[in-house]
Structure 1
Amino acid sequence: MHYRYLAIAGLLCFSTADSFAQGSGQSQVIPLDAAVRTGQLSNGFTYYIRKNNEPAKRAIFYLANKVGSILEDEDQRGLAHFLEHMNFNGTTHFPKNELIDYLQKAGVRFGADLNAYTSFDETVYQLPIPTTDPKMVSRGLDIMRDWAQEALLETDDIDKERGVIIEEKRLREGVAARIQDKTLPVVLNNARYANRSPIGTDSILLHFPAATLRRFYHDWYRPNLQALIVVGDVDVDQVEQQIRKQFADLKNPANEKPRPDYKIALTGKNQFLTITDPEVSATNLEMAIKHTAGKMITTTDYLNTVKRSLFNQVLGARIGELSQKPNPPFLGVNAGIGNLMGGLDQFSFSVTAKPGKLAEAFAAGWSEVEQVKRFGFTQSELDRAKVAYLNNLEKAAKEKDKTVSESYVKEYQALFLEGAASPGFDWEYNFLKKELPGISLDDMKAVANEYIKDTNRDIFIVAPDKEKNNLPDSATVNGWFKTIAAASLAAYKDNVTDQPLLKKLPAPGKVVAQKSYAALGVQQLTLSNGVKVWLKPTTYKNDVIQFMSFAPGGINKYSNEEFPSASSANGIISGSGLADLSPVQLSKILNGKSASVGAFISGRSQGVGGASTVKDFETALQLVYLRFTAPRKDTVLFENALAQSREQIQTRYNDPGNVFKDTVTAVLSGYNYRTSPSTLARLDSISLEKAYEVYRDRFADASQANFVFVGNFNTDSIKPLLEQYLGALPSLNRKEKAVKLPLRVPKGQLVKTVTKGTDNKATVLLVYNGDCVYSTENKVQLQALSEILQYRLLTSLRENAGEVYTPSVNANMSKEPEQRFAVNVSFGCAPEHVEHLVGLVQQDIANLQQQGATADEVQKFKAGFQKQYELQVESNEFWLQYISGKIESNEALKELPNIEKQLGRVNGASIKAASKNYLGGENVIRFVALPEKK
């Protein structure tokens, strides 16, 4: 189904709990959308095909298998996921790594485009392909056919992949994994799911016989458990004919095993567990109240999902208000209905307490839930939720013909794997318009009664090791529930204001000059207060306008003594509401409107950014005006934010990852005070008055501001609104300039090792950096170098050595404040492999410097770059960034560069030269994170 707007409204799962389902008529089976071509071959193989032109000249192929780790025998744990890997390592028509090689030459990137995943119940392969060449569509079907039943599974290839899988598993190690290992068996009631984690076990992954993997493949990769989904710019009839021809001969095994439908049985019992770990930073109470979930088949099912979505939306708003009360005992509270697995969904509740305040934190959070269960919601709350829901529905309706293919693919995937109905947008739109108004407060009360119960309840208390002796037991927590249940609670009072967002219109300005950039379809307006407006009408979206502004200034102009308050100014003031409206009041006023505007203050500039629909564009401009002219300060919110930050600072280095990240930042900035981690002393020096003063100062003068608008608007129609609000922004003509702070990246070769944590894993980051000559051509050469180096590292570190899961190479080149470049090479591995792997990286770099890139590597880069560029330029985001970047860098705003010409300059020799320029090793910093020595 089109869950875009349902997700926005807070829907997390589906159920068929008819006890609170009330529709306007008898429940009926939801029909299938006629726009999707579906069928099933005689061998049970299912297909879904849909024509869709977003994006044009592209199609997405998915092979969905009702096969996951839940089907593994005891000696196969981890092999469903292992098999997914092997489908990329050799099939009948693409032996060894020829599949990846072939697709990369066609512009399909491994990992970013070409990918797959394995979960408990399913394995899904994805392949986006260009459709300009009809042969690519046929080739895509060849690949899907190979993935369905043509994996070679050669013993040597299996043995080589063992190390890669172990390294993928190693990356998951950490405090979250340790906690999950303890909580998951409890949550899953020790069902089969509890000991069928898709990643598997080391003992099996390292030692299983190849025949064991082949047995799993033979048993479960079969047509009656598979579906092919094709959505995109294709000929539906032709694709259907090809599928029927190519997939009809897939065979189900003789005497096939039945595919069990595993479920997690509810016990009716409550469970309690305390967990401590040295890397946990705060005490948390987490709760799951489990329920039996159902399928999305009937109109009653659908209506129930909507009710739960509305319930989550209102409950989330209630809980959001808690954090705005003075000195709350918690750092965070969350609650809502969500999915689980194995046929279950849940009402989840969690609270993160301030030190020593778990009882008070729980009471504050759970009292809100108890209040909802006891009194329900108010009519005004439900009405707001409905208005927001309908607004999202109308937005989706306007963008219906812009729905991307990926959205349909996910829909049909859910239809095949979960049985979730797929009626199409028009059916959903008409159904919701009819049924949504009839949802009542009694319906919301029924949802609460259905989900918030005192059975099938799991409670986990997760805390730092040092709190081990201070944690409550099960009896104590049960006592907390009883106390709140017996307490006298008042019904919720909805604090609603009827004042307008802007009480009085400002005096407007005027357009005093205009200029056109015909090659780009851009018009520039100059307003009487000096504000420059750049307008780029597009049709990439039907009802979206995106914008941003920037002006020189920023926080670099403030002294180190002022820096703590200055650097916090935007976060503190922007989060405090606008004018005399608190964040809660502002949210309620804006309910049902599609307009959002945020401010930023960076080191060298400040401005705003946001988006809206055409209808709510004026509201967005009013928000811009208020961001500039009417910031609000709130002592309660300020003190709450400082208190939360204090707790985070004191426990920040419980997490080894934070130690490593902060070390990298400190070294790369030359231990600059302004980029160093915050301390309690620095936090205590932050002044609300100073932060407010800095914010007001940064937005006191808009005379140098540039506003860029991109979207589906009529330039003449919006001019009066631009004059009314942007023309009214304050103008002091201060002629500010951005302040350039000295850059102190250490020169030469440096090694920095961090030892923290107990997990047997290492993280390596190599930073090659230095001065450069900034140009578009040099940026392309640097990007080509980084991607070609990544191809090589995937081969040498992953495929050949088997000691890394996914090495990463990222490069950037900046013009301001200085012309600099950086190439970052990173990977995770076993601690004992660090030196070997760094040596392999250096060998690959040396080879590039001596031999340059191969023709195949250059072809892969060019194809991938070209395809991505073609997609990017067809988006509002691209043009917003392109226009803004050119203006802010004082570069000429002219037509897009000739990409084919620039790519023509990329060749083996140019990569050889680039590798010497950027990877010469004169300035390279090696960061390594290792576990503490035992």
Structure 2
Amino acid sequence: MHYKHWAAAGLSFLLLSGNVAMAQQEDQPMPLDTAVRTGKLANGFTYYIRRNEEPSKRVLFYLVNKVGSVLEDEDQLGLAHFMEHMNFNGTRHFKKNELIDYLQKAGVRFGADLNAYTGFDETVYQLPIPTDNPAMVSKGLEIMRDWAQEALLETDDINKERGVILEEKRLREGVSARVQEKTMPLMFNHSRYAARLPIGTDSILKNFPVDALRRFYRDWYRPDLQALIVVGDVNVDKVEQQLKKQFADLKNPANARPRPAYTIGLTGKNQFMAVTDPEITTTTLELVIKYPETKMITTADYKVAVRKALFNQLLSRRVGELSQQPNPPFLGVKAGIGNMTGGLEQFAYSVAAKPGRLQEAFAGTWLLLEQIKRFGFTQAELDQAKQSYTTGMESARREISKTPSQSYVAEYQQHFLQGAASPGFEWEYRFVKQYLPTITLADIKAVADKYIRPEANRDIFLTAPEKAPSALPDSATVDGWIKQLASASIQPYQENTADSVLLKEIPAGGKVVSRTELKALKMEQVTLSNGVKVWFKPTTYSNDQVRFSSFAPGGINKYSNEDFPTASNTIGIIGGSGLATFSPVQLSKMLNGKSVSVGAYIGGRSQGINGACNREDLETALQLIYLRYTAPRKDTVLFDNALERSAEAIRNKYDDPDNVFRDTVSNVLSGYHYRATPVTLRRLDSIHLDKAYDIYKDRFADASQANFIFVGNFRTDSILPLLERYLGALPALNRKEEAVILHTEVPKGRLIKKVEKGKGNKATVLLVYHGDCAYSTEENLQLQALTEILEYRLLASLREKAGEVYTPSAQGSMTREPDQRFAINVSFGCAPDHVEHLVGLVEQDIAALQQKGASNDELTKFKAGYRKQVELQVRNNEFWLQYIAGKLENKETLKPLPDVEKLLSKVTGKSLKDAAKKYLSGTNCIRFVALPDKSVTMSGK
């Protein structure tokens, strides 16, 4: 793993004794991982090739261009992103739509697999290719070669794409975009970046002459600014040979424009801005201090990254403890060092305040940073952070052979774009185990001293609802707060210690009373003396992972409507309050350095446990399961704080038009069922801590009907004694409970529900086709095929032909419990004036499916994609955990997966014609439309 994934995330590295000579050398360049084949052609084109078999029979192609919106001329704003779109609209070997059509027939999905993005400084194209057919690898290289310099850029295609780009831009409209439009010039110090948002401007996107786009392409899509990254299950020698042959003739322009290295200059000044908007729901103060970024090239740079990662981890733990004080004046707080753009990094802090308590919220949280600046951290904290760092690296080392290809791609992309070193995991592993012990408290305090310096290059942004209860402070006022806190009296941090062991007494446990082998699934099942059933599925999908879950009949449905508000929040209240005598902070410290996660849940019809661990920490995981059952904890402070945060969220919730629309959809589709409607302040008032505690204890008082499923890399006989000890000790009352089934009614007939709210000039459309059905695996596949093929058609009609939608979606679902029902959701965003026209186009596509069914091409695409998805899904522990649990809970026969080809053989043009008539008849169809408030619609957007 690369430091970009480790150090920046604050994860942990392994520390062992030993001597590593390279660590003794100060400021030496880090080597490039020898496992990657890299080179540069005579024309300047760079390549990276690595063999990696996770996942097998797959290869990732990434074309990385040092070309982004920052390079646009004044008449080209938005054209870097526009160019990205055009590479999918016709190239030398793939005319318009032929590329997507070809790849879909090979099982590559548009959007999910085949995709691209444009940033300020780069444009990146991604393409996963199956490698079972060697010809596909050659075809992948041909596609990359076309993307590099063979776009057709036909005038008609460019003009048609304008509408699609404008609709993509429209989707981004809203309160976040309005705030960003105001704050970004300050954030980027009025540099070129502030005037080069990749999405561009309406006026240029609508009116640019086509030659402006062609000029951008000629100037910047050239081999000296491009790299091809190939990682996957391939023959490196063959790929390199073919790559050299195909890419050597790429040409640089005769008089190539220099590629400027734009940056955001630091002014030394402090800046301030307050922004209000009727759709902002909370008052937030954000403080950003900007610094020149630290490059990642030498060993000294790496050490800096490790120290910053430790600092972020330590700071995050301190910040987390703030929320556990009684009645805090804030709703949330964040702080840490992170990357920016334009050659900068930042220390960013933000606090969301409760109404009328901004100064108090700022003081109470900024004092934490002042405390760290003055006193640093404690040795116990640093030791814990190092241990956590260690655990993460050791866990990754055990999984190194399972590292997904995507991780390597991300490393090499940064190597090309930023010059960031990619020394390889083993180099980092050896380097860190030598360096980590040498890091001192003074080293970490030096990080705080460097980054928490609000005296210069500081931006303060205040965002608040227009109806804020009190006047917002100005720049001088906030500056006064900071200066006052800098001289305040502060006490050193007091360590919140915890016991050294989770369980002071190990339970006696139980015994296996029966054992059954399920040979067809390579599984075993045992029953313990307390009635607990345990199902084992050993796998090799990960080297050191064990995943588990359980269920038992019961759940929230057993409680009355009067108790429902408390019952539905019981897990959040009790599950988040720690365990036994341990508060959440103490529990976190207890588990420091362990790879384990265990949580409880209470669903509608069942309750149980979910979690994961490595094999070494399985006993800790089982102890946590035992405590989840037998030693829940309640905390009055955490309960009161959670209720107050929820109340604040409810009070301003409907200032956000998206919340109004979402809740409208939820209300209607549930038939306004009490248990499915949104939480209100009145309902919040009926939640009680003691009742939640009693409900939790009641739900976990009896494990005699519990089924536990374990999936992962283990030997059943080796872990069975631990399961006998802890799962065999779970309480058993033999209640013989049954799940309570509650039914909801979706309104019948054809309905239209409109929501008019908000300032953005955009509409959101959701069409819900629904009804009763006869559930079966075969029928569910027909529904999935129907919705996917409908989406193909919507992309063609709404996006490619009409140019009035960016991403139409069609999604289908079918349920067996509590009722056998289906739903097909068709959704898209568009201009308000286009709603009726676009709904009409959807209905035309549906009518065509009902009349003629699916074409052979469409069937080929769906089946190819389905095969590839199933092939990838079944090589995953989580898939098997969900599959086994689902079958058992639904009381279905546990048997091998159905034959994919047999299932797909039943998906035909005729079967989908029948499915379209059945599931898209429109007999029961609800149209939801979100529109702007006509009285406040912003013009010119």
TM-score range, shorter chain: over 0.9
Encode CA deviations 1:731-756: one digit per residue, 9 max, x unaligned.
Answer: 11111111111221111111110111
Return closer, same or farther for 1:859/1:238 CA change in 2, 3 Å cut-off.
same
1:5 deviation in Å? 6.0
What per-residue deviation string (whole Å, max 9, x for no partner) do you get for residues 836-887 of structure 1? 1111111100100000000000000000000010011111011111111111
Counterpart position of 1:842: 843
Q: Is the 8 A contact 1:5 1:389 kept in 2?
A: no
Give the equivalent residue in structure 1 for 2:293: 293
CA contact (8 A) 1:11 1:338 kept: no
**TM-score scaled to structure 1, two decimals?**
0.98
In structure 2, how many angstroms separate the alpha carbons of the residues matched to 1:279 and 1:572?
A: 29
**Residue 598 of structure 1, CA deviation:** 0.7
Give the aligned partner of residue 644 of structure 1: 645
What pairs with 1:740-819 in structure 2 (closer than 5 Å)?
740-819=741-820
Corresponding residue of 2:354: 354
Q: What is aligned with 1:424?
A: 424
Judge conservation of contact 2:7–2:308 (CA < 8 Å) in 1: no
SS at match of 2:62: strand
Tell me which amino acid in the other structure corresponds to 1:763: T
1:676, distance to aligned residue in structure 2 (A): 1.0
Checking the alignment, whether the CA contact within 8 Å between 1:287 and 1:459 is kept in structure 2 is: yes
Shift of residue 367, structure 1, vs aligned partner: 0.2
Equivalent position of 2:938 in the other structure? none
Distance in 1, Cα, partners of 2:739 & 2:399: 40
- What secondary structure sits across from 2:510 in the alignment? coil
Q: Deviations over 1:268-311 (max 9, x none)?
A: 11001111000111110001000001321000001100100000
Q: Tell me how far apart the structure 1 counterparts of residues 748 and 108 of structure 2 sit (CA, whole Å).
A: 38
Does the 8 A contact of 2:23 with 2:434 survive in 1?
no
Q: Take 1:289 and 1:52, find their aligned partners in 2: how far apart are those partners?
A: 40
| Partner Cα distance (2:504, 2:588) in 1 | 17
1:59 aligns with 2:59: yes
Matching residue's letter, 1:814: T
Does the 8 Å contact 1:763/1:828 carry over to 2?
Answer: yes
Aligned to 2:19: none
> The residue matched to 2:364 in structure 1 has which SS?
helix
CA contact (8 A) 2:285 2:463 kept: yes
Match of 1:736 in 2: 737
Do the aligned partners of 2:752 and 2:926 also contact (CA within 8 Å) in 1?
Answer: yes
| Residue 539 of structure 2 corresponds to residue 538 of structure 1 | yes
Q: Distance in 2 between matches of 1:91 and 1:374?
A: 61
Q: Which residue of 2 aligns with 1:18?
A: none
Correspondences of 1:261-340 after superposition (within 5 Å) = 261-340=261-340
What residue number does 1:627 align with? Answer: 628
Per the TM alignment, residue 679 of structure 1 is displaced from its structure 2 partner at its CA by 1.0
Higher alpha-carbon deviation: 211-220 or 549-558: 549-558
Please report how far the alpha carbon of residue 692 of structure 1 lies from its aligned counterpart in structure 2 after TM superposition. 0.7
Aligned pairs (5 A) from 1:358-437: 358-437=358-437
CA contact (8 A) 1:27 1:298 kept: yes
Q: Are residues 469 and 635 of structure 1, via their aligned partners in 2, closer, same or farther at CA, if it must alter by over 3 Å?
A: closer
Deviation (angstroms), 1:4: 7.5
Q: Equivalent residue for 1:459?
A: 460
Q: Deviations over 1:365-424 (max 9, x none)?
A: 100001001110000001000000000000010001111111111110010011110111
CA distance in 2, matches of 1:670, 1:8: 47
Residue 177 of structure 1 aligns with an amino acid whose one-letter code is: A
Residue identity matched to 2:430 = N
- In the alignment, the residues of structure 2 paired with residue 34 and residue 318 of structure 1 have an alpha-carbon distance, to the nearest angstrom, of 40
Contact 1:9 1:310 in 2 (8 A): no
Q: Residues 456, 47 of structure 1: CA spacing in aligned structure 2 closer, same or farther, 3 A cutoff?
A: same
Q: Distance in 2 between matches of 1:582 and 1:3?
A: 33
Distance 1:515 1:309, change over 3 A: same
Q: Describe the SS at the equivalent of 1:103.
A: helix
Return the letter of the residue paired with 1:161: E
- Residues 123-171 of structure 1, C-alpha deviations (whole Å, 9 max, x = no match): 0000000001110000000000000000000000001100000000001
CA distance in 2, matches of 1:253, 1:293: 32
- 1:560 matched residue in structure 2: 561
Secondary structure at 2:34 match in 1: coil
Distance 1:221 1:868 in 2: 33
Q: Separation in 1 of the partners of 2:384 and 2:416?
A: 35
Q: Is the 8 A contact 2:316 2:336 kept in 1?
A: yes
Aligned to 1:16: none
1:205 and 1:523 map into 2 onto residues whose CA distance is 61
Q: Distance in 2 between matches of 1:11 and 1:89?
A: 42
Equivalent residue, structure 2, for 1:17: none
> CA-to-partner distance for each residue in 1:301-331, whole Å, 9 max, x for gaps?
0110010000000000001000000000000
1:8 shift after superposition: 7.8
Deviations for 1:225-283, whole angstroms, at most 9, x for unmatched residues?
Answer: 00000000101000001011000000000110000000111011100111100011111
Equivalent position of 1:520 in the other structure: 521
1:282 is matched by which residue type in structure 2?
Answer: T
Give, in angstroms, the shift of residue 11 of structure 1. Answer: 7.3
Alignment-mate amino acid for residue 433 of structure 2: K
What is the CA–CA distance in structure 1 between the aligned matches of 2:308 and 2:494, rounded to whole Å? Answer: 22
1:147-226 correspondence to structure 2 within 5 Å: 147-226=147-226
Q: Is the 8 A contact 2:673 2:744 kept in 1?
A: no
Give the whole-Å Cα distance in 2 for the aligned partners of 1:3 and 1:894: 43
Q: Deviations over 1:422-477 (max 9, x none)?
A: 11111000001110111110110110111111210000110000128610011111
- Partner in structure 2 of residue 473 of structure 1: 474
Contact 1:550 1:705 in 2 (8 A): yes
**Matching residue's letter, 1:351:** V
What is the match of residue 237 of structure 2?
A: 237
Distance apart, 1:516 and its partner CA: 1.1
Instruction: Work out whether residues 276 and 468 of structure 1, in 8 Å CA contact, stay in contact via their aligned partners in 2.
Output: no
Tell me how large the CA RMSD over aligned residues is. Answer: 1.2
1:492 counterpart = 2:502 = no
Separation in 2, partners of 1:875, 1:674? 34
- 1:534 partner letter: W
The one-letter code sitting in structure 1 at the alignment partner of 2:362 is F
Q: How many residues align?
A: 925
Question: Residue 902 of structure 1 aligns to which amino acid in structure 2?
Answer: L
Report the counterpart of residue 618 of structure 1 in structure 2. Answer: 619
CA distance in 2, matches of 1:790, 1:129: 22
SS of the aligned residue for 1:877 comes to helix
1:904 and 2:905 aligned: yes
Letter in 1 for 2:705: Q
Describe the superposition over 1:55-79 as per-residue Cα deviations: whole angstroms up to 9, x where unpaired: 1110000000000000000000000
Letter of the 2:815 partner, please give it: S
> How far does the alpha carbon of each residue in 1:542-591 deviate from its partner, in whole angstroms, 9 at most, with x for none?
00000110111111111111111111111000010000100000000000
Q: Distance in 1 between matches of 2:901 and 2:434?
A: 52
Alpha-carbon distance, 1:23 to partner: 7.3
Q: Give yes or no for contact 2:596–2:614 (8 Å, CA) kept in 1.
A: yes
SS of residue matched to 1:467: coil
Q: Which runs of 4+ in 1 moved over 4 A?
A: none
Which residue does the alignment assign to 1:81? 81
Secondary structure (helix, strand or coil) at the match of 1:719 reads helix
Structure 1 residue 506: Cα displacement = 1.4
Give 1:494 deviation, angstroms.
1.1
Partner of 2:929: 928
Which structure 2 residues correspond to residues 430-445 of structure 1 after superposition, within 5 A? Answer: 430-445=430-445
- Could you list the runs of 5+ residues in structure 1 that have no partner in the other structure? 13-21
**Could you tell me how far apart the structure 1 residues matched to 2:10 and 2:357 are?**
29
Q: Percent identity?
A: 69
1:19 is matched with none
Look up the equivalent residue of 1:567 and give its one-letter code. S
Residue identity opposite 2:691 in structure 1: K
Do 1:11 and 1:308's aligned partners in 2 also have CA atoms closer than 8 Å? no
Structure 2: runs of 5 or more not aligned: 13-21, 936-941
Q: Name the CA shift for 1:86/1:906 in 2 (closer, same or farther; >3 Å).
A: same
The residue aligned with 1:573 is: 574
Instruction: Verify the 8 A CA contact 1:11 1:306 in the aligned structure 2.
Output: no
Q: Partner residue of 2:602?
A: 601
Report the CA distance shift for 1:306/1:287 in structure 2 as closer, same or farther (over 3 A).
Answer: same
1:107 aligns to what? 107
